[in-house]
Amino acid sequence: VEPISLGLALAGVLTGYICPRLYCLFAECCGQKRSLSREALQKDLDDKLFGQHLAKKIILNAVFGFINNPKPKKPLTLSLHGWTGTGKNFVSKIIAENIYEGGLNSDYVHLFVATLHFPHASNITLYKARMEVWNPFLDVIGFGVSLLWDEIWEFYAGLDFLDLSHPPASASQSAGIIGMSGFWHSSLIDRNLIDYFVPFLPLEYKHLKMCIRVEMQSRGYEIDEDIVSRVAEEMTFFPKEERVFSDKGCKTVFTKLDYYYDD
Ligand SMILES: Nc1ncnc2c1ncn2[C@@H]1O[C@H](COP(=O)(O)OP(=O)(O)OP(=O)(O)O)[C@@H](O)[C@H]1O
């Protein structure tokens, strides 16, 4: 070990021990959490997250129900489901930013992406062991799963091009409709470890346009409605005939925008 690195590490530990306040001026401390405000999170979600009224409602109630519980028995576990590009990672970032100044970069936020961190099914035992170190309380107790099937169903039943004249016979049938079928029998669900399933609805043409406008503004361009419509038109939609929902959500609109601002 180089003397200088050792010195700095020791100084860090000692300063943290002797004078936590001073230490916290230079490093991120757990106690430096933002005081999470329902109004601020609601405003962020309202301003930034488009077309996800159900997700917003569940997330706000879940997060603040948890925060207001002085003795939670396990961490809050939200399971976000829905089509690609509809805002699942985006909302995680918004929540993290409302809790810690550093958002996803905070030392107290750990982001696991299944395809990146758990790529091989054969290594599942290893992944599980690692996860237990990160999240030791997850397996303590199971809570009931809260689902809003009625409201999800209301959304889909309002789409007259879908033949959904009868509500789903079971929760798992509903799950299939919102793209949860692959996950439905996982052990997390069987052991009731997930507190809330949060459905992300597919995004419509008007939501794509909203995403495109946000991106234009963040790149410092004037909003050009002609380009907004052209980029949105280039996306692919389902059902094929009616072209109602974007099949990639807002995910690829940003790269399509590059074409129009190739300077
Ligand atoms: N509902 C939304 N409202 C506003 N912006 C959105 C929304 N959905 C997606 N976006 C934009 O598109 C980007 C990509 O979306 P995001 O990564 O959150 O999708 P995802 O649902 O997590 O997709 P995947 O399932 O493929 O991981 C976001 O960073 C955000 O800029």
Confidence tier at 18 by pLDDT (50, 70, 90)? very low
Nearest CA to ligand 1 atom 4: 49
At 19 the pLDDT is 45
Q: How far apart are CA 133 and CA 150, in angstroms?
A: 37
The Å distance, Cα 148 to ligand 1 centre, comes to: 22
Q: What angle do CA 60, 61, 66 make, to 5 degrees?
A: 100
CA of residue 211 to ligand 1 center, whole Å: 9
Q: Is 249 in the pocket of ligand 1 (CB under 6 A)?
A: yes
28 by Cβ neighbours in 10 Å (0-12 / 13-18 / 19+) ranks as middle
Lowest mean pLDDT among 34-43, 150-159, 211-220, 227-236: 150-159
In this prediction, residues 120-130 reach a mean pLDDT of: 77
pLDDT one-digit tens code per residue, 66-107: 888 888 877 788 878 888 899 999 999 999 999 888 888 888
pLDDT at 99: 86
Q: Closest Cα partner for 52 from 40, 66, 42?
A: 42
What would the two tokens of residue 183 be? Answer: 């996950």
- Evaluate if residue 172 carries a pLDDT over 90: no
Residue at token pair 């597919």: 202
CA distance 236 to 193: 36
Any atom of ligand 1 within 6 Å of the Cβ of 246? no
Q: Domain segments of the chain: what residues? A: 3-32, 38-200, 205-260
Residue 164 has which token pair? Answer: 């959904």
Whether the complex's predicted ipTM surpasses the cut of 0.95: yes
Q: How far apart are CA 129 and CA 163, in angstroms?
A: 45
Ligand 1 centroid distance, CA of 83 (Å): 10
CA dihedral 3, 8, 10, 14 (to 10 degrees): 150
Q: Is the CB of 85 under 6 A from ligand 1?
A: yes
**Cis omega (within 30 of 0) for bond into 239:** yes
- Answer for the pair 57, 175: CB distance below 8 angstroms, yes or no: no
Which of 49, 59, 86, 201, when mutated, tests ligand 1's pocket best, judged by the most ligand atoms within 8 Å of its CB?
86
Does 202 contact ligand 1 (Cβ within 6 A)? no
Compute, in angstroms, the gap from residue 138 CA to the centroid of ligand 1: 26
The mean pLDDT of 180-190, rounded to a whole number, is 50
